[in-house]
Amino acid sequence: MQQQPTHSDHELVTTIDLHFKGLREHVAAFLVRSPEGPVLIECGPALCLPALEQGLDALGLSLTDIKRLFLTHIHLDHAGATGACTRAGATAYVHPRGAPHLVDPSRLMSSASRVFGEELDQHLGWLESSPENQIVAVEDGEVIQIGDMSFTAIETLGHASHHHAWLMTYEGERHVFSGDTAGMRLPGTSFVTLPLVAPELDPVKWQESIKRVGDLQADRLWLTHFGPVDDQEAFLRDASALLHTECALLRSLLDEATGLTAEEVMTQYRSWHLELAQQHQIDPDLLHTYCSDIHYESNIAGATRWLHRAGS
Ligand SMILES: [Zn+2]
C-alpha cells in the first residue's frame, strides 16, 4: 500500500482515501475537526482499516483519538470498520434501522457472504460487533451537538432503508455528507454512477432524498465515493436524471416480455453505460476500472428486487 494522499480539502474537513481495492478515490472517510476533537464521517470497509489508520497517522492522529463516528448507513464499504472504531473508544451514530446490526452483525454478515462471496474476504472484510452502549440510533432531524458544531441526521432513503445524510454546521458553514444519496463520481470527472444495490433499492424514495439533499443548500457536498463536489446543483441534477434513466432502462431490460437471457441483459446494460460514458468523454478504461462486472451485476440484482417488490 502506498503512502496516503490525505489532502486537506478544507480547514474543517479532510478526505482520507481508503484505497479500496487498491483504487484511488473510490471510498473515503472524512476527518472533521470538531471543537471537542477529531470526528470521523464513515470508516470504510474492515479490510481498509490499515489505510484508515495511515490516513489518521498522516494527520498526527490514531484511531483511539476518534471519539465520535457518524455513519451514513451500514453497508460494508461505509461502516465495515465500525467494530474496530468502537473498540478503540468511538461512539457511532447511525440510523435506527442500522443500529441493531452494528451490535449484532450476524444477520448482516450472513447475507453479505451470500451476496458478495469472495469479494467479502478479498476486499470488504468482516464487520465486528460493537458494544451496545457505544451505538447511538439517531432519528431523522435529530441533532448531535459537539460544542458549537452540530450534526443533523437527514433521513435519505432509496439506496438503503437505513440511510442518513449528515448536515454539519459550524460557524456559519454548512457541509453535507451524502453517503450514497448523490451517487458516486468517477475520479477526475463529474460523471455520476449509481449503486442501485439490493435489497432495498427504491427509486421513488431515492429521488425524494436527492431533492432533500439539494434543499439543504449546503456550502459543500461530500461524497463517500468520492470527495468534495464543486457544482453540487449540477451534480445532483445529473444524479437525479441518471437515476430516472438507468432504472427505466433496467426495467425494460428485465421485463419478461423481452425474453432476454441474463447474459443479454448484462451485455446490453454494459454497452448502454459505455455509450453514455463516451458521450461524456469518459475514458473507457477509467469506466471499466471503477465499474467492473460486479457493479453491473449488483445493480441488476438491485433492480430485480425492486421490480419484484413493485410487482412489475
Ligand atoms: Zn457505498
pLDDT tens-digit map of 267-282: 999 999 999 999 999 9
pLDDT tens-digit map of 16-75: 999 999 999 999 999 999 999 999 999 999 999 999 999 999 999 999 999 999 999 999
pLDDT recorded at residue 115: 83
pLDDT recorded at residue 9: 62
Q: Tell me what the mean pLDDT of segment 202-214 comes to.
A: 98
CATH 3.60.15.10 for domain 13-231: yes
Separation of 195 CA from ligand 1 center, angstroms?
Answer: 7
pTM for the whole structure: 0.95
User: How many Å apart are CA 212 and CA 228, to the nearest integer?
Assistant: 18
Cα dist. 96→39, 81, 140, 225, 303 in Å? Answer: 20, 19, 9, 23, 25
Domain edges within the chain = 13-231
Residue 222's nearest CA partner among 151, 281, 285, 312 is 151
Q: Which residues pair with 174 in a beta bridge?
A: 169
pLDDT recorded at residue 251: 97
Separation of 13 CA from ligand 1 center, angstroms?
Answer: 19
Separation of 108 CA from ligand 1 center, angstroms?
Answer: 15
Separation of 128 CA from ligand 1 center, angstroms?
Answer: 19
Separation of 257 CA from ligand 1 center, angstroms?
Answer: 32
Separation of 259 CA from ligand 1 center, angstroms?
Answer: 32
User: How many Å apart are CA 232 and CA 238, to the nearest integer?
Assistant: 10
Separation of 155 CA from ligand 1 center, angstroms?
Answer: 16
User: How many Å apart are CA 7 and CA 21, to the nearest integer?
Assistant: 20
Cβ atoms of 88 and 52 closer than 8 Å: no
Kindly tell me if the per-residue pLDDT of 175 is higher than 80: yes
Separation of 78 CA from ligand 1 center, angstroms?
Answer: 6
Separation of 260 CA from ligand 1 center, angstroms?
Answer: 29
Separation of 64 CA from ligand 1 center, angstroms?
Answer: 25
Separation of 89 CA from ligand 1 center, angstroms?
Answer: 24
Separation of 5 CA from ligand 1 center, angstroms?
Answer: 21
Separation of 258 CA from ligand 1 center, angstroms?
Answer: 31
Kindly tell me if the per-residue pLDDT of 312 is higher than 90: no
Q: In terms of C-beta density within 10 A (0-12 exposed, 13-18 middle, 19 or more buried), how is residue 173 classed?
A: middle
Phi-psi region of 275 (alpha: psi -120 to 50; beta: other; left: phi over 0): alpha
